[in-house]
A and B are shown apart, each in its own frame.
Chain A
Amino acid sequence: EVSVSELGLGYESDETVLFRYCSGTCEATVRSYDLSLKSMRSRRKIRKEKIRARPCCRPLAYDDDVSFLDAYNRYHTVNELSAKECGCV
């Protein structure tokens, strides 16, 4: 539970919304892709690009839209604010 102002999206509102996020490690879902990538990086075969050689916990789906009334009595609707489902991707 966070107030809308705390979201840092620039809205001024005292309304409280539910914010669900994804967290956790993804050790168990390391794929051959990740292992190979890691190995190639360590052999300096890949240098310049920014790569990520481990799966990462991210939302797979987002909650429904959230609407709220701001401090100036205007309504706003924000979509894809809160996670509904997480996964290692």
Chain B
Amino acid sequence: TFLPNRALLSLPGADEMLRSLAGPPPVPPVPVDCVRATELCAADAGCSSRYRTLRQCLAGRDRNTLLANRECQLALGVLQESPLERCRCKRGMKKELQCLQIYWSIHLGLAEGEEFYEASPYEPVTSRLSDIFRLASIFSGMDPATTSKSNHCLDAAKACNLNDNCKRLRSGYISTCSRELSAAEPCSRRKCHKALRQFFDRVPGEFTFRLLFCSCKDPACAERRRQTIVPSCSYEDKEKPNCLDLRGACRADHLCRSRLADFHTNCQATFQSLTNCPGDNFQACLGSYAGLIGFDITPNYVDASTTSITISPWCSCKGSGNMEEECEKFLRDFTENPCLRNAIQAFGNGTDVNLAPKIPNPAATVLPKAEKSPVLPDDVNDSNTAYDTSVISTCTSLQEQGLKPNQSKEQSLCYSQAQLTTDVMPDQKTFTDPKAGSSRQRESRILLLIPILIPVLGL
């Protein structure tokens, strides 16, 4: 069942500490990733031989008979004391698949059998939505004019287009997902899913969440939101499979299985908290939702409704037979999930739960991060540090700051808008730089840079 598993997950610290104090085997107080854990295990003769035995036990098709084997049970018992037992993986980590394979090779042995909900193999998410809002507000602060028009989904697309990494990976999946192969095959779903996974794994949440969970007041906005993942290729299909079949296919794949387990762990509706989310953690739920995109189980908005948000994977409970109830239950975790819905709405409204009174997790404390916030504007002006290396950023930042007079040496690299417009004329023969005199000593370098890039601001 689900609850005992979660209880185990949510307090990783205390009893591990006790155990490590009690003596060998040393178990790190923080869950290590499973790749690292196998390295630790390999250094220990006993552990590594037991681990090999267990892998052999689980390699066979019939898990149950092999686990009835005494040797296998013994191996499992020993491994439960090792760092392997509590190891976790990180989304988008270097050897994610390898890590997950190790995780499941142990945990499939520990599990009682096919469970409805499985514990997530991923490290618990400790950051909060408010961290994203802080960044998002800086982004939107750059363009006060557009935010007032309030198509948040359009603003999100803009923010992404203005960020090199986001733009590159976004157009990466869009071009892959909308490339028509033939009349029969509108696109390569496999490649489209892969490109989507790259986008959601490698682009930070302040961009991806804004695109995916923007709040909408009109249908055009909601349709844009629905179109975010290019559903015609990544989501819709000729037929709607049965949801349990889809789950079965997903569980056959380590990566998909892990993402689904993560979704169930973080978005499982609970009625013990105000938000209906486990640990009141919206960010964790939204993150694991985004983690499902690009798999068989890819979820999306079912329509462009602005009032009610309905999410579903592309499946139905038709043909479930006597599993109808289980199928409905599975589907309801998407379609009628108050945690997921609250999380999406909270993100759209820019609200998060105030965690101040109870802080069980030290990493989630709000205070040190709040103190950092006055520093953040400096971070945004990071282009200052890029001044001498990149002409492009020099120009950008100068223009944004309205050409401050005290930055003379860089200024000689850029021309003001007025000078620029005249200079753009192709047959204008001469151009005199009024600042040239002041920057003689740099001339040798500047000469190479005289052809200059100046980004045009939206005028």
Chain B associates with chain A: yes
Identify which of B162, B431, B450 gathers the most chain A CB atoms within 10 Å of its CB: B450
Contacts of B224 in A (CB 8 A): 69, 73
A77 with B423: CB separation less than 8 A: no
Q: Give the chain A neighbours of B188 by CB distance below 8 A.
A: none
The residues in B between 130 and 180 inclusive whose CB is less than 8 angstroms from any CB of A are 146, 151, 154, 157-158, 161-162, 164, 167-168, 170-172, 174-175, 177-178
**Which of chain B's residues has its CB closest to A78's CB?**
B171
Q: With A14-B154, A66-B171 known to touch, is A1 a contact of B162 (CB < 8 Å)?
A: yes
Q: In the complex, what distance in Å separates the CA atom of A14 from the CA atom of B168?
A: 19
| Contact of A80 with B by CB under 8 A | no
**How far, in whole Å, are A69 and B458 apart by their CA atoms in the complex?**
19
Within 8 Å of chain B (Cβ to Cβ): is A23?
A: yes
Q: Is the CB of A77 within 8 A of B162?
A: no
Alpha-carbon distance between A86 and B450 when the two chains are bound, in angstroms: 9
B147–chain A nearest beta-carbon distance, Å: 12
A residues near B157, Cβ cutoff 8 Å: 15-16, 68-69
CB contacts under 8 Å to B, within A50-89, are 57, 64-69, 73-75, 77, 83, 85-88
- The answer, yes or no, to whether A26 is at the interface (CB within 8 Å) is yes
Question: In the complex, which of the residues B177, B447, B453 has the most CB atoms of chain A within 10 Å of its own CB atom?
Answer: B453
Contact between A77 and B175 (Cβ–Cβ < 8 Å)? yes
Instruction: Looking at the assembled complex, report how far the CB atom of B408 sits from the nearest CB atom of chain A, in whole angstroms.
Output: 18
Contacts of A77 in B (CB 8 A): 171, 174-175, 178
Q: Which of A14, A66, A67, A88 is in CB contact (< 8 Å) with B451? A: A88
**Contact residue among B154, B161, B177, B227 (Cβ-Cβ distance under 8 Å from A17):** B161
Structural contact, A15 and B451, CB atoms closer than 8 A: no
CB distance from A24 to the nearest CB of B (A): 4
The reply to whether the CB of B230 lies closer than 8 angstroms to some CB of chain A is yes
CB distance from B223 to the nearest CB of A (A): 6
Decide: B223 and A15 in contact? CB cutoff 8 A. no
Q: Does A18 contact B (CB under 8 A)?
A: yes
Instruction: Report the separation of the CA atoms of residues A67 and B424 in the bound assembly, to the nearest whole angstrom.
Output: 27
Q: Which residues of B contact A16 (CB under 8 A)?
A: 146, 157-158, 161-162, 458
Find chain A residues with CB under 8 A from B167 CB.
18, 64, 66
Contacts of A20 in B (CB 8 A): 392, 453-455
Flag whether B456 is at the interface (Cβ < 8 A): yes
* A18-B453 CB under 8 A given contacts A75-B174, A75-B178, A77-B174: no
| B8 within 8 Å of A (CB atoms) | no
**B window 293-330: CB within 8 A of A:** none
| B451→A18 contact, CB < 8 A | no
- CB pair A21 B454 closer than 8 Å: yes
Contact (Cβ within 8 A) A25 B431: yes
The answer to whether A37 has its CB under 8 Å from any CB of chain B is no
- On whether the beta carbons of B452 and A86 are closer than 8 Å, the reply is yes
The minimal Cβ–Cβ distance linking A53 to chain B, given in whole angstroms, is: 11
Contact A1–B431 (Cβ < 8 Å): no
A3 in contact with B458 given A20-B392, A75-B178 (CB within 8 Å):
yes
Contact A87 B174 (CB under 8 A): no
Contact with B along A9-44 (1 / 0, CB 8 A): 000001111111111111111000000000000000
Enumerate chain A residues within 8 angstroms of B151, measured Cβ to Cβ: 14
Set A14, A67, A87: member contacting B175, Cβ < 8 A: A67
Pick the contact of A65: B171, B415, B423 (CB < 8 A).
Answer: B171
A83 to B415, CA, bound (A): 17
Does A2 lie at the interface of the complex (its beta carbon under 8 Å from any beta carbon of B)? yes
Complex Cα distance A38/B163, Å? 44
- Cα A57 to Cα B450 in complex, Å, equals 9
Most chain B beta carbons < 10 A, residue from A15, A23, A27, A57: A23
Pick the contact of A28: B175, B392, B447, B457 (CB < 8 A): B447
In the complex, are the beta carbons of B455 and A87 less than 8 A apart? no
* Cα–Cα, bound, A88→B447 (Å): 11
Please measure, in the bound complex, the distance between the C-alpha atom of A46 and the C-alpha atom of B222, giving whole angstroms. Answer: 62
- Distance of A31 Cα from B139 Cα, bound (Å): 45
Taken together as a complex, chains A and B put the C-alpha atoms of A15 and B157 apart, in Å, by 7
Given A19-B456, A20-B455, the answer on whether A73 and B171 have CB atoms closer than 8 Å is no
Q: Is B93 part of the contact surface with A, judged by Cβ < 8 Å?
A: no
Chain A residues with CB under 8 Å of B154's CB are: 14-15
B424 partner, pick from A23, A75, A83, beta carbons under 8 A: A23
| A-B contact sample (17 more), CB < 8 A, given A15-B161, A16-B458 | A1-B162, A1-B455, A1-B458, A2-B456, A15-B157, A23-B415, A26-B450, A27-B431, A28-B450, A57-B451, A65-B172, A67-B170, A69-B157, A73-B227, A75-B178, A77-B175, A86-B452
List 9 A–B pairs whose Cβ atoms lie within 8 Å, in order of A's numbering: A17-B161, A20-B453, A21-B454, A25-B431, A26-B450, A64-B171, A66-B161, A75-B230, A87-B451
